[in-house]
Structure 1
Amino acid sequence: MEHRFWQQRWEQAQLGFHLSFVHPILKRHLARYSLAPGARVFLPLCGKTLDIGWLLSEGYAVVGAELSELAVAQLFAELGVEPVVSEWEGGQCWQHDALTVFQGDIFALTPATLGTVDLVYDRAALVALPPTMRDAYARQLVELSDAAPQLLITFEYDPAEKEGPPFPVLPAEVARHYADTHKIEELSRKDVLDASLSFRDAGVSCFVEVAWRLLPLAKGHA
């Protein structure tokens, strides 16, 4: 999935992936991670998700990574705050109080640039990438976060019925990416076809949303 694809989605306001509400899975399961006040939550490929404002209101620090400058500008505008914008090696860093967003290529981020991560919240990143990119993305995420706990959301459907994104990511693939570094627990699964208009209208028979809790294994345990 080339950068230009996502830039065009934002430029043309083709934002079917953007929810007009805070994700229920985040609100339902965040307490399971027992985060300390002020803990730092990393949202890869964050867009302008409303989940960011909710996390901030709950007292957490949020750091995001997002390719589209337009998305980042809209995020801060919709939050009603004025960011301080500086440069980092892969693009621009937008900051306001407890919110930091690295605009640019997530593969250019380093752990030193990103800083401490207490939780990774992957709502729409892994599923946004085609199979050829997901191995490298998962490795980068583990390295960036030092294998931090993760709340991951995936989808399961028959790819013969519709072409992604979002792409289907089955349990075996989640295990392939993360079983060496994390204990993997399925938190929930639900067919959300009725709420996913583009998939329903395309004739997809089943569109299942799955939530996963990934907890880091002891160092050296594989």
Structure 2
Amino acid sequence: MEQAFWQERWQNDQLGFHLPFVHPILTRFVGGFDLPAGARVFLPLCGKTLDIGWLLDQGYRVVGAELSERAVSQLFAELGVEPQIEAWKGGRRYCHGALTVYQGDIFALEPADLDAVALVYDRAALVALPAAMRQAYVAQLRALSGDAPQLLISFEYDPQEMNGPPFPVLPDEIERLYRASHTLTELSRKDVIANQQRFREAGVTRFVEVAWRLTPTA
């Protein structure tokens, strides 16, 4: 999507994608990755998700990337901490303790900005991007994370009933995007249309949330 689209969503508080609770997929499955204490978890297009505070409470280091300055400011305010803010070539870097968030263009990030990534938690990034952008996003993610394992959340629904964002990303596309670097394991799938008011009102009959484990092949 155009950057202006997401900036406008945040500016107008159109935050239907923001959950008021820690995602149960994260709490259910992150332990299966056997991450050591202090491991670095990268959240692309992180918004102000409550998942970040939960990960910090578990003793992990967290690096996020987020376009919206408003989202990042609200994230730190809701965590109750005052970040150190400095410029980087893609925008501004916010840091406090074990949390760093790069506000700006994720495609301007370089591997040295993140250091070693133990896990990528893609809770809302791939599904936020139209098909034309996904290949470039996956290539950037691989460059940044060194083909780290991933916990990925995708959605499946009929785009003829409505099209996102969030967009449907089906298993064959995930396989095509990641088969060069990862093997895919489906961890769970659940129809969550009851929780998707905007999609229900548009006539969508089925909205399936799928959790994937992506394991590096190398």
Match in the other structure for 1:113:
113
Aligned match of 2:11 = 11
The correspondence of residues 204-219 of structure 1 with structure 2, limited to 5 A, is: 204-218=204-218
Alignment correspondent of 2:72: 72
**Residue identity matched to 1:158:** D
Shift of 1:42: 0.2
- Give the TM-score normalised by the residue count of structure 1: 0.97
Matched to 2:92, the amino acid is Q
Unaligned runs of 5+ in 1: none
Counterpart AA for 2:63: V
Runs of 4+ in 1 over 2 A off after TM superposition: none
1:53-72 deviations in Å (ceiling 9; x for gaps): 00000110000000000000
Matched, 1:160 2:174: no
Match runs of 1:123-138 below 5 Å: 123-138=123-138
Shift of 1:211: 0.3
Distance in 1 of aligned mates of 2:103 and 2:114: 12
Using the TM superposition, give the Cα deviation of residue 166 of structure 1 relative to its aligned residue in structure 2, in angstroms: 0.2
Deviations 1:74-118 (A, max 9, x none): 000000000000111111000000000000000010101222110
1:146-195 CA-to-partner distances (Å, cap 9, x unmatched) read 00000000000000111200000000010111111011100000000001
2:31 corresponds in structure 1 to: 31
CA distance in 2, matches of 1:110, 1:160: 37
Q: Per-residue deviation at 1:200?
A: 1.2
Q: Quick one: distance in 2 between partners of 1:98 and 1:125?
A: 22
Partners of 2:114 and 2:86 lie apart in 1 by: 14
Q: How does 1:55-204 map to 2 (within 5 A)?
A: 55-204=55-204
Q: Percent identity?
A: 67
Aligned with 1:36: secondary structure?
Answer: coil
1:128 CA drift (Å): 0.2
How far did residue 120 of structure 1 move?
Answer: 0.1
Q: Secondary structure at the match of 2:101?
A: strand
2:215 counterpart letter in structure 1: L
Name which of structure 1's ranges 29-38 and 108-117 shifts more when overlaid on structure 2. Answer: 108-117
* Structure 2 unaligned residues grouped into runs of 5+: none
CA distance in 1, matches of 2:105, 2:212: 25
TM-score (norm 2): 0.99
